[in-house]
A = this chain, B = another copy of it.
């Protein structure tokens, strides 16, 4: 059996009892290590599981599925994914390849940022399309995520913004010369994401604004290390959030749409400033 096991979001103990049982008896245990990270490293997982864990990078998962799935017709192989195997990162391609090989597969679900974002108090029902905010480069500054946020807001929906992760990047020089030298991983922070959003707001300032457009005073929610013991949630305006330090990765951002008074009341628990607290109070009264 080929098992796709979700690890949840916090630390080693966020695996389910069912998932841990699979890990402990599997012949080989892989950890998908390129779309997300736990706040604890591979070694902490190995200690907790009492098992060797093989890091699987994108090349291995996308190109070496024969190796990954070897013997999975007669033995159990576990493929661990931070969050849920079919959550923020969708490993459906891996399932399709397993089925093609005639293998049986099983998904062991766990919390994903896609549902654990409920921790900030905005109702999961009321989220529209999820967007990804990418690192802007000097000559590549896409704005499509902004447009999607606005489309959600036009319908009163909240937007979960997943923030870019750059693992195993190569400089152009190293890439050209074929040198397997990689840059340190980079994680887009909530404040960086807000700086990019604010930049878009400024660029579009001359265009006709609607109520759905963002302004420096739009309420935003940043979350960091959801599920971990040092989880942090901050509610601030877009302008304020540009300077909020959420600490180490991973961060995510939510741009609320229409808020129910109860949602406003929950957000107030995490208010970063008196200013945003007052803004939230006007929502409650509406």
A14 contact from B16, B125, B227, B269, Cβ within 8 A = B16
- Contact A115:B109 (CB < 8 A) given known A16-B13, A96-B265: yes
The answer to whether B128 and A128 touch across the interface, beta carbons within 8 angstroms, is: yes
Let me know if A99 is at the binding interface, CB within 8 A. yes
Residues of chain B with a CB closer than 8 A to A88's CB: 124
Residue among A21, A124, A227 with max Cβ neighbours from chain B (10 Å): A124
Query: What sequence of 0s and 1s flags, for each residue 226-270 of chain A, a beta carbon within 8 Å of any chain B beta carbon?
Result: 110000000000000000000000000000000000110110010
Let me know if A9 is at the binding interface, CB within 8 A. yes
A262 contact from B11, B12, B92, Cβ within 8 A = B92
The answer to whether B262 and A110 touch across the interface, beta carbons within 8 angstroms, is: no
Let me know if A90 is at the binding interface, CB within 8 A. yes
Query: What sequence of 0s and 1s flags, for each residue 9-29 of chain A, a beta carbon within 8 Å of any chain B beta carbon?
Result: 111111111101100000000
Residues of chain B with a CB closer than 8 A to A157's CB: 128-129
Q: Once the chains are docked, how many angstroms separate the CA of A99 from the CA of B271?
A: 14
The answer to whether B107 and A90 touch across the interface, beta carbons within 8 angstroms, is: no
A interface: dominant SS: mixed
- Contact A112:B110 (CB < 8 A) given known A17-B17, A99-B269: no
Q: Which of A73-117 contact B (CB under 8 A)?
A: 84-88, 90, 92-93, 95-96, 99, 107-112, 114-116
Q: Once the chains are docked, how many angstroms separate the CA of A110 from the CA of B116?
A: 8
Residues of chain B with a CB closer than 8 A to A118's CB: 84-87, 90, 112
Q: Write the nearest CB–CB distance from A85 to chain B, whole angstroms.
A: 8
The answer to whether A10 and B18 touch across the interface, beta carbons within 8 angstroms, is: yes
Let me know if A155 is at the binding interface, CB within 8 A. yes
The answer to whether B10 and A124 touch across the interface, beta carbons within 8 angstroms, is: no
Knowing that A8-B109, A13-B16, A125-B130 are A-B contacts, what are 12 other residue pairs whose CB atoms are under 8 Å apart, sorted by A's residue number?
A11-B18, A13-B17, A14-B17, A14-B109, A17-B17, A85-B118, A86-B119, A90-B125, A92-B263, A110-B110, A110-B111, A111-B111
